[in-house]
Amino acid sequence: MKYYVLFGPPGAGKGTQAGSMVERYNLCHLSTGELLRSEIAAGTPLGLQAKSLIEGGNLVPDEVVEGMIESKFQNTKGVNGFLLDGFPRTIAQARALDEMLSKKGEEVTACISLMIPDSLIRERIANRAKIEGRADDARDEVVLNRIDTYHAKTEPLIDYYIEKGKYREIDGVGSIEDVRSRIFAAID
């Protein structure tokens, strides 16, 4: 099995690029954002808890996200691997993922990192909020908190995956097709 971590700041284009990666490499796309949004839409207790955290620009507790991911690993068949989008977001989550995979004799194949400047993050999130009607992306203070949270808690994963020799940085600025071809070149 292949296990790719799709990494980058909010608005970097992870969701935009994931579909073509899934199709080309026969991967199961595990978007923690989508998993959480489905829980919120269903009105589950987890969904209600997640909703209040997300609306404040905060992260959902690790054990909740890890449980959802592990369940998907166990119950998904007929794929060559997984594309993890939005997980791990912290060093603790990366270690938990490594532990989860090592139990199965597996490991992360590569961390594919889409990088864009903060100014473009704000522009893309604002645009996404308008197009998709995502209330959690509509308020400036929430967007700025998400960017700050990314830099403080998620960006340290770059060094974590560099140390493991698994980090592949992709320039996320440019056309969708240009970025996609850079991703495919890194994976191939």
Q: Cβ distance 28 to 80 under 8 Å?
A: no
Q: Cβ distance 111 to 161 under 8 Å?
A: yes
Choose, from 14, 51, 124, 180, the residue flagged as catalytic.
14
Known active-site residue 124: no
Known active-site residue 14: yes
Structure tokens at 81: 């691997």
Choose, from 134, 153, 166, 168, the residue flagged as catalytic.
134
Known active-site residue 128: yes
By residue count, the chain amounts to: 188
Choose, from 51, 124, 146, 182, the residue flagged as catalytic.
146
Known active-site residue 72: no
Choose, from 2, 37, 122, 128, the residue flagged as catalytic.
128
Choose, from 51, 89, 124, 180, the residue flagged as catalytic.
89
Known active-site residue 89: yes
Alpha helices in the chain (DSSP H): 14-25, 32-42, 45-55, 62-75, 91-102, 118-132, 140-149, 157-163, 176-187
Active centre residues (catalytic): 14, 89, 128, 134, 146
